[in-house]
Amino acid sequence: MTDGKTQEPNNAKPVPGPGETSGPEESKIFVDEDWKSQAQAEKQRLANEPAGPAGGADAARGVPEASFATLVSSIVTQVLFALGAIEDPQTRQRYRDLPMAKHQIDMLAILEQKTQGNLTDEEKKLLDNALYEVRMAYVQVAQAG
């Protein structure tokens, strides 16, 4: 696809052009000027419309804003998943993977170490609380066997 040419899907069927037939009936393409002006107006309106705060398509999907809090939350979620606190949405099962949980906790600890002195008070409190909570959850699950 690097040659700039578009490739048709395997199930694509050719569409007859003007003057060609697609079988017993002749295919006709009608283009009226009103349709052209409506399409052009829509194209112009979309070009002038500002993108949403999360980048348009991302906002429609509900993708959270990239931030320190989102990063910490994402890692905490992975820890909880590995500890079996969150069920797998596909299998509806809970899995325990203590080495993976420990790895994710270690990632949070590295984040704490590498950002020392560079966080706001709120970010530091968030990270400290997250580390405390996941460490306590890990100990509880590990002791339960």
71 class by beta-carbon count within 10 Å (0-12 exposed, 13-18 middle, 19+ buried): middle
What are the pLDDT digits (tens) for 10-69? 433 343 444 545 455 544 545 455 555 666 666 676 667 665 554 555 556 788 899 999
Q: Which two tokens stand for residue 100?
A: 């993976």
For the chain, the structural domain boundaries read 66-144
Placement of tokens 């899995």 in the chain = 95
Give the dihedral of Cα atoms 48, 53, 54, 60; nearest 10 deg: -70
Model pTM score: 0.58
Contact between 134 and 108 under an 8 Å Cβ cutoff? The reply is yes
Placement of tokens 């099962």 in the chain = 93
What are the pLDDT digits (tens) for 99-113? 999 999 999 999 999
Confidence of residue 145 (pLDDT cuts 50, 70, 90): confident
Those residues whose C-beta lies under 8 Å from the C-beta of residue 53, and which sit 6 or more positions away, are: 59, 65
